[in-house]
Amino acid sequence: MRAFLDMGGYAAYVWPSYALTLTVMVLNIVWARRLLKRSRKEALRRLAIGGTEV
Amino acid sequence: MAWTWFHRLASPPHVYRVAGRLTPWLAWPAALLIVGGLIGGLVLAPPDYQQGDGFRIIYVHAPSAWMSLMVYTTMAVAAAIGLIWRMKVAHAVAASCAPIGASFTFAALVTGSLWGAPMWGTYWQWDPRLTSELILLFLYLGYMGLRSAFDEVQRADRVSAVLAVVGVVNVPIIHYSVVWWNSLHQAPSVMRLGEPTMPPSMLVPLLMMLLGFTLFFGALLLVRLRGEVLSRERSASWIREALHP
Amino acid sequence: MSESGTVGTTLRAAFATAGAPGESSVPALAAARLVLARDLKLAFRKRSQLVQPLAFFAIVTTLFPLGVSPELPVLRPMAAGVVWAAALLSSLLALEMLFRDDAQDGTLEQYALSGRSLTWLLAAKTAAHWLLTGVPLALMAPLAGLALGAPGSAVPGIIVSVAVGTVALSLIGSIGAALTLGIRRSGALLSLLTLPLDIPVLIFGARATELAISGEAYGVPVQLLAALAVLGLTLAPLAAAAAVRINLE
């Protein structure tokens, strides 16, 4: 297990790389879902204001 | 008719619905492939005879670099379609691509820099591939900056579409000139492994990660696309049905 | 449009069509030539504006010895790069002049509505821009080179490489200028859009200049520069015209 974490001495380079990439992936998921939620909220708000032309 | 599927793709309500239903079909396989690739790459693959365990960064660097280019191309193709056929949905696809591509370009730069650091002794080298990735990041930032400079979404879509098409023509030119520049000065290039060909135990996880990241992009794109399509829509009739099922 | 004077009235007469846009009493090339002449004439009325990019070039070049070292042996290896970086930045500065006045007074709209090929007219404006900024830069660049330690024998090579390179720079710049037409304070955005696309020109141009300075044959990079210029000539005015039309809608 320790050998795995140590990555043959390259741990300081390997693990931050994986951590960063994972962070980028998670952030992308968060941003995408946030965009969709915001757009839905905005569309509903425009609907509530009324009219067929928003 | 052969073209009906194309015309349906132009319909925002259709796209909104289909994108929503399609997303899990991309997201779950992506997750499986990525987890499988991680296990294969971090645990099962043997260490490289030259770089030891340090080479394992390739399993996140290569997919990120692949994403940065693939997403840019997708963005440019979508932009061109939006310009030629005046399709709002195509412009929405292009808009959705940019932040995804830019963030993975950044990831490719940092992981590439970390990959080379132990071999170079410094955190940065003007390696041709890293330099090209850096310029690609500038292209993404320029695209996003141009978009945000316009208040009106339609104009933002069309002006940035011209930029995307111009940019994609330039990407191979920029890359070739950077490789040429680098070869003049024989700077060290690290991004290769010790063996001339990769054994399957190393290659298979890499392919899994590449495919997994691609499907992940597809799922992300679908989610963002729904948001972008909604924000471009004026007529309320289909929105009412879509949001109050 | 009162500044245009005789050139303006000639243009207006030439562009006036009897009926629907599509009819042209003057072919595209002749109209382009008129636009070129107009731009040159108008530019020479504000000579101080022409000098500014050149003064900027001189100042930027001066920054490097001040920031690095006054010793010529230290400066000579980087002379080509410094000259080109300064040329790129000066050419960016000069891009402000390309479309702004015409966009503001409605001339650009007239060009778009005239029924003539907007692509040709913008190509003519870009040609004028190169004559007004690229050529003077090409003539000033050897002075900067000499000041940074280049030998006198390098002068022809420096002029040739900068002259050809600035053609591509003007063309690439016209795209960015067209894209950012309506945007206020677009300077930083224009740079962000244009400079990455300029990088191949920088690489080949600096290489050509470097070879000229060390006395070697510089033909190959200059040919590559010329290839970029030709590519730019065929594609850039098209892209700029598309961008202008979108921004004028």
Instruction: Determine the pLDDT at residue C233.
Output: 96
Q: Residue B52 pairs with which residues in a beta bridge?
A: B48
- In the predicted model, what is the mean pLDDT of residues B61-85? 96
Q: Look at C21 and B166; give whichever has higher pLDDT.
A: B166
The rounded distance, in Å, linking the Cα atoms of B93 and B99 is: 11
pLDDT tens-digit map of B20-46: 999 999 999 999 999 999 999 998 888
- The CA-CA-CA angle for residues C211, C217, C221, to 5°, reads 65
Q: Residue A53 pairs with which residues in a beta bridge?
A: B235
* Residues in chain C within 8 Å Cβ distance of B135: 196, 199
pLDDT tens-digit map of A7-21: 778 888 999 999 999
A35 touches B: beta carbon within 8 Å: yes
Q: Does the pLDDT of residue C3 top 80, yes or no?
A: no
Instruction: Determine the pLDDT at residue C101.
Output: 87
Instruction: Determine the pLDDT at residue C18.
Output: 37
Instruction: Determine the pLDDT at residue B189.
Output: 54
Contacts of B245 (CB under 8 A, 6+ apart): none
C26 touches B: beta carbon within 8 Å: no
- Asked if residue B144 lies in contact with residue B97, where contact means CB atoms within 8 angstroms, the answer is no
List the structure tokens of B98: 């940019």
- In the predicted model, what is the mean pLDDT of residues B81-96? 95
CB atoms within 10 A of CB C194: 23
Q: Residue C21 pairs with which residues in a beta bridge?
A: C23
Q: How far is CA C54 from CA B105, C62, C157, C186, in A?
A: 37, 12, 20, 21
CB atoms within 10 A of CB B179: 14
B28 touches C: beta carbon within 8 Å: no
Confidence of residue B187 (pLDDT cuts 50, 70, 90): low
**Contact (CB<8Å) C186/B149:** yes
The rounded distance, in Å, linking the Cα atoms of C219 and A35 is: 53
Percent of chain B with pLDDT over 90: 62
Would the pTM of this model clear 0.80, i.e. be above it? yes
**Contact (CB<8Å) A40/B243:** yes
pLDDT tens-digit map of C61-81: 999 999 999 999 999 999 999
C8 touches B: beta carbon within 8 Å: no
pLDDT tens-digit map of C197-230: 999 999 999 999 999 999 999 999 999 999 999 9
Taking CA atoms, what residue in B is nearest to A7?
B53
- Three-class secondary structure assignment of B155-221: HHHHHHHHHHHHHHHHHHHHHHHHHHHHHHHCCCCCCCCCCCCCCHHHHHHHHHHHHHHHHHHHHHH
Instruction: Determine the pLDDT at residue C168.
Output: 97
Q: Model ipTM?
A: 0.89
pLDDT tens-digit map of C26-60: 688 889 999 999 999 999 998 888 899 999 999 99
| Mutual angle of helices B58-85 and B128-148, in 10-degree steps | 40
CB contacts < 8 Å between A and B, how many? 109
Instruction: Determine the pLDDT at residue A51.
Output: 55
pLDDT tens-digit map of B216-231: 999 999 999 999 999 9
Q: Does the pLDDT of residue B15 top 50, yes or no?
A: yes
Q: Does the pLDDT of residue B184 top 90, yes or no?
A: no
Contacts of C194 (CB under 8 A, 6+ apart): C92, C95, C172, C173, C175, C176
Instruction: Determine the pLDDT at residue C19.
Output: 40
- Asked if residue B150 lies in contact with residue A46, where contact means CB atoms within 8 angstroms, the answer is no
- Asked if residue B95 lies in contact with residue B78, where contact means CB atoms within 8 angstroms, the answer is no
A30 touches B: beta carbon within 8 Å: no
Taking CA atoms, what residue in C is nearest to B167?
C197
List the structure tokens of B94: 């292009």
Report DSSP state, residue B11: -
**Contact (CB<8Å) B142/C175:** no
